[in-house]
Amino acid sequence: MGIDLSNAWKSGSRIIDLGISLLPNAILATVVFVAFLILASVAKSAIRRMSRRRERRQNLGLLLGQLAQVGIIVLGFLIAVSVIAPSFHASDLIKMLGIGSVAIGFAFQNILQNFLAGILILIHEPYQIGDSITINGMEGVVEDIQTRATVITTADGHRVIIPNAILFTSPVVVKSVEPQLEPRTNGAVPVAAGRKTAA
């Protein structure tokens, strides 16, 4: 008894034809998404530069920059998907996420914890870029505060990436780089401020 491969060949041909027909849209979608990635990076850098010019609430600028980056990337992704599949709508993605929200929640539990902790750290500003912090025996200068983790540089030049959930739930000793005046009877002497904060 011979094996009939005609149906398999027809199915394969349809898949190949569909892939070829979608290739121009896929290339265009890739270009659009890359353009939005570049735009997101530029927007984040611009907001961070503006926030560094301000003496106060610099962490709020970092938060706004990262939220702007995420928002632009999500928008670019949705537009890229709509280029490939014109019938796709954002509501379809919401329905898909609703169905798998429980599984996604378990899979990305640590990521969500670090993300929320990062937002709270950036809002409440227990420390800022340039501050020296000590946590769990590690000490270094804050180099960057991201929504997922905080990057510090130790005295020996090593970069340590600490998840924000750990920084938010553990006691942190913060030595601010900004001098404070200590009142004395014969004048005032600037001293480095040290404070211990439970993030």
DSSP state of 86: T
Instruction: Report residue 68's pLDDT band, with 50, 70 and 90 as the boundaries.
Output: confident
DSSP state of 85: -
The domain boundary residue, chosen from 84, 99, 114: 99
196 against 146, higher pLDDT: 146
pLDDT in tens, 161-187: 999 999 888 898 988 755 544 444 444
Is 11 in the same domain as 91?
yes
Please give the average per-residue pLDDT across 117-132, as a whole number.
85
DSSP state of 13: H
What's the whole-number average pLDDT of the chain?
A: 75
Is 93 in the same domain as 12?
yes
pTM: 0.54
Tokens representing 81 are: 């998907």
Is 78 in the same domain as 158?
no
Identity (one letter) of the amino acid at 60?
Answer: L
Is residue 116 included in any domain, yes or no? no
The proportion of the chain whose per-residue pLDDT surpasses 90, expressed as a percent, equals 14
Is residue 87 included in any domain, yes or no? yes
Which H helix or E strand runs over 31? helix 6-52
Is residue 120 included in any domain, yes or no? no
Identity (one letter) of the amino acid at 48?
Answer: R
Beta bridge partners of 144: 151
Give residue 38's domain range: 6-99
pLDDT in tens, 102-122: 556 666 678 888 888 888 888
Q: Among candidates 127, 176, 175, 183, which has minimal Cα distance to 151?
A: 127
Is residue 110 included in any domain, yes or no? no
Tokens representing 39 are: 């735009």
If DSSP codes are grouped into helix, strand and coil, which group holds residue 57? coil
The radius of gyration of the chain from alpha carbons, rounded to an integer in Å, stands at: 25
pLDDT for 160 equals 92
Tokens representing 109 are: 């539990």
Please give the average per-residue pLDDT across 67-95, as a whole number.
77
